Amino acid sequence: MTTSDKEKREQDLQQAETCLNAGSEACKDGKLDQAADAFGEAETRFRLAGDVKRAGDSCSLLAAAQVQDNMPEKAIRSYQRALQLYKEADYPVSEADSYLAIGHIERQLGQLDRAQASYHMA
């Protein structure tokens, strides 16, 4: 990795952290649309920097904001994206957490068979 690559990676990580903090603050303030945008940007920046686990964390935070904003289908898709990132990063506990979250949402939607399948995967 060259010096410019390291600088670019460090810049992406700093921007991702900034976005993550902005998303958390927006979530606390009830500005869920802004939080979703910030978490989505954080995911992109973490992926660019090669931090796949933190990209998954950003997707999970995005999904949590979507649940709060009463968008369960979008939240499921975000958790599924987080699952893929956690698999890629080899973080099975975080992967299991995502499966549980999906199961809870599916159960609330009345999709009991799909919820059971998600619980089983966890």
Residues across the chain: 122
State the total domains in the chain: 1
Dump pLDDT digits (tens) for 28-87: 999 999 999 999 999 999 999 999 999 999 999 999 999 999 999 999 999 999 999 999
pTM reported for the whole predicted model: 0.91
The residue range of the domain holding 112 is: 3-121
Q: What is the CATH number of the domain that holds 20?
A: 1.25.40.10
Residue-level pLDDT at 1: 63
CA distances for 59 relative to 3, 28, 116, angstroms:
29, 17, 22
